[in-house]
Structure 1
Amino acid sequence: MRAARFHNFGGPEVLQLDEVAWPHPADDQVLIRVHASSINGTDLGLRRGGGPFRLTLRRPFTVGLDVAGEVVRVGRRVSAFEVGQRVYSLLGHSGGGAAEYVNAKASRVALAPSSVGWAEAAAVPLAGLTALQALREGAGPNLRPGARVLVYGASGGIGAFGVQLAKHFGAVVTGVARKEKLDFVRSLGADAVLDTQDLASAWQGEPWDVIFDTPPALKFSDVKPYLGQSGVYLSTRPIPTSPGDIGGMLARSGPRFASVMTKERSQDLTYLARLIDDGALRVPLDRTFPLSEIVAAHQYAEGSTVRGKVVVNI
C-alpha cells in the first residue's frame, strides 16, 4: 500500500510516497481503509524535527494523526465496531494516517458523523478534540452562559472549533485573527472579532473569563492582568515553559494557567459527531489535496492564507 513518509527531517520536500506492507490489527485494534487524513500543526512539527521530536521520533515516519475511513477488519477483542462502518479516529503521535490503511486502537475510534463527507470527518479529530477538551475541562466552571471568552488564532483548525464550541456552551466570544480572515471568523458565530494587530484593545474594558490561545503565541504573564479573579488562560502548549506558567498552574486563587493534553477518547468523538449531525457544529474545511500531492498539501498548510483545516484525500 502507499504511505506518505519522511526519512529525514526538513521542509515539505522531504515527504515521499513509499510502498509499505499492509498493517494487521492487534486484538484491541481496528483496521481502517483510510479515505482522508487532515494536516495539523503537530504534523508539521514532527516533519521538521522540532523540539524533542528530533531525538525521539523513529524514521521513516508516516504522517497523519487523524483519519476518516471504513472498517475492513477488527481485532479479536473488539466488539464495538463491524466491517463496513464509517469511522474516524485520532491516532496520536504514532501517526500513520496519510496511508491507504492504518490500525487504530478501538478506544480511539468512533462512528463518523453521517451528515458530512470523508474530508470533513477527517478534519475533526485532533482539532475538534483539543478545542472541546480545553474548553470543557480546562476552562471548567469559567465556561458558563454569558462568560467572556477570547479565542486567539480563531481562524485556525483548533480556533475555528473553539469559537463554535464556546458559543455552543453559551459564552460571548471574541475571535482574534489576521485582518483578512476576520470575515471567516464572523461566519463561525463569533460575537466580535479583532485583528491580531489590534490585540491591545482586547485588554481594555471588562476582564476575560477565558483566554484560549490556540497557536499558542501568547504568554500567561502578559495576559494574566486581563483575566478575571477566577479567569483561566488556556494554552495548547502541552507543558508549562516558564516560572509564570508553573505558578499559574499551581495557583489556588486568582487567574490560572491550564495546558491542553488532548486525549484520544472515542466518547468525545461521538459527542462531536452528534453536534455536527445536529447542525450545531460546522467543520471548517479550507482545501483538500490528493495523496499524490502530499508535498503541496504541506506547503499550503504552512502558509498564511489557511482558514480552518487542510485535508489529504487518500
Structure 2
Amino acid sequence: MDFIEDLGHGLYAIDTGFQRPRFDAAYLVVENGRAAFIDTGTNHAVPRLLAALDRLGLAPDGVDWVIPTHVHLDHAGGVGLLMQSLPTARLLVHPRGLRHMVDPRALWDGALAVYGEQEMQRSYGELVPVPAERVEASRDGQVIELAGRPLLILDTPGHARHHHCIWDAQSRGCFTGDTFGLSYREFDTRQGPWILPTSTPVQFDPPALKASIARLLGLGPQSMYLTHYGRVGEVERLAALLLGQIDEMVALALALKDADERHERLKAGLAAIYLERLRAHGSMLAPERQLQLLAMDIELNAQGLAVWLDR
C-alpha cells in the first residue's frame, strides 16, 4: 500500500507505519516549492518522511518548518532525527513542550514508565535532542507563513497542556493532533467515519478538551486532519460524537472513583461504551475485532481517566 495520500490543496498525509497501516499520520504542507511537516511519527517514520519529499521533488533544504501538535512520542518522537536531515527547518513547538524537544530525557522517562524498555525501543527508538537555536515556542493566535500561505496556531489543551492545533485557511481544515479524537478507517460505515476521544495520560482535562473542540468548530472547518487517522469531514456530526463520549467517559470514571480493581473496571466500561457506539454506527466488524483494534486506546484511556480522577 502506498504510504503517501494526496489530499489536494498541497497537502499530503504520510502513513508513518506506527503500530499498523493507517494508524498514525504525519502531514506535509507544500506551497510554492516550500514545505512544512506537521507531526512526524517516531524515529522509524523518518525514512518515509524523507522519501515523501523526494517523491514530490522537494529537497531537504526546502522544508521551512517542523510543527508537532504536541510532544507525545507518536506525534513528535521522530522530530530530532528528522531535523538532522533538514538543514534550514525550524521547529515550532508548544511552549510547554519546548524543553522536551531540546532535552528529551524527561519525555523518555515518562513514556518508559507507561510502556517499558522493550516497547520503547521497539516502537520509538532513542530520542534525539534538537539544538535550542533551531527551536521556537508557539504563541496562541500566532500566524506563520509558508511561502505566503498562512498557518494559524491555536492553543488547544484538554488532551495535553502542551497541545496546539494548526488552522489552514486555504483548505478550510485543521491539523488537530489528538484534540479532535481518533477515527480509524476500519470503523467507517455507510454512515461515514466514527470517532472517539483520547484521554491518554497524564494531562486529560475534560472541560478544557470540550472548550478546545468548540474553539475549532468556531473556525467553520470543512475537514479535520487527524493524526489517527487521516482527513475526515462531517465535522459537526463527529464533534457531537466526541462531546457525548467525553461526558460518558467522565461519568464512568466518577462512578468508579473509589472502586476495587478500578483499572480493569474502567477498561470494561470503556469497552462497553465503544461497542455500543459502534453497534449504533453500523459497524459490521465482529465485536472481538473491534476490541482488538481499540485495545491500546482502551488501556491508555483507562490510565488517563485514573490519573484525572486522582488529580
TM-score for both structures, normalised by structure 2:
0.28
Q: Whose strand proportion is higher, 1 or 2? A: 1
- Rg: which structure is higher? 1
TM-score for both structures, normalised by structure 1:
0.28
Q: Whose helix proportion is higher, 1 or 2? A: 2
